[in-house]
Amino acid sequence: AKLYGAFIYAETLADKKIILITNKFWKKNPLDSMLRDHIIDIDDSNNNFIRTLTHCDKDICLILHTDGGSIDVNDAMVKSILRFKLFHEIDTYVPYYAFSAGTELALTGKTIYMGKCAIMGNVDPQIPVEVPEHINTSYQADIIINEHHKATNLTLLDVCVIGNASKYLQDSMSGINNILVKNNYPDEAINKVINQMCKGKTTHNTPLDVVDLQNLGLNVVEEMPDYISRIMNELYVYIDKFNET
């Protein structure tokens, strides 16, 4: 398979393990077995990512290509990455886009490499809320907290929603702070990132490009190695063929 060959070629050039985290596109058919240590579902219910890190004895290039995923799974991935970084380095790569949980994973990298038109987003948690006209809609945690605090005659469900939103929001800010502290960012940069990405100053899907992220003080480089671009090119060919079967 050309995609597998692209991973092996990249690992040979970089002398690093190459892992791609993306949204699951292999729903009807299983992913080829030789790719399972290289391509990880961002909603990794089987903990393949943790297993891969556990058995990895070299630095990692972590490619993010995702519109986001589960808060709980993402937290476990971040925890594992921070533990892994006690022994090896991780750089992150965003060829095109990494939103929500994907952005948080990208922040774990010592250096974040982005394509010239690539974008990331905010990481404020999205809380599922049932309302009459939009069942199972998700809202930004800070909006839920602020709007419910203005209300009177709160129901028990309202109180639970506020409490849940508050916990997720605090966990999000604490998590980002922890990631950036471990990457040796100064307090000024950490505060800028948390204020922009965690506190709902803009919508959850507001795109942030290379310049936006650099202005926050993040170590972002507008550069994408050819071997990473080759993986992405082969990925799209593979997905097209995969979906034909």
The pLDDT tens digits for 186-196 are 999 999 999 99
Please tell me whether the overall predicted TM-score, pTM, comes out greater than 0.95 for this model.
no
Residue-averaged pLDDT of the chain: 85
Cα(121)–Cα(103) distance, rounded to whole angstroms? 6
Distance CA 204, CA 62 (A): 23
Q: What angle do CA 12, 62, 122 make, to 5 degrees?
A: 160
- Give CA–CA dist 11/214, Å, rounded: 28
Sign of CA dihedral 204, 206, 208, 213: negative
In the predicted model, what is the mean pLDDT of residues 177-200? 93
pLDDT of residue 124: 81
In this prediction, residue 216 has a pLDDT band, given cuts at 50, 70 and 90, of: very high
For 184: left if phi > 0, alpha if psi spans -120 to 50, otherwise beta; the answer is: left
Query: What is the pLDDT confidence band of residue 166, given thresholds at 50, 70 and 90?
Result: low
pLDDT tens digits for 59-99? 999 999 999 988 888 889 999 999 999 999 999 999 999 99
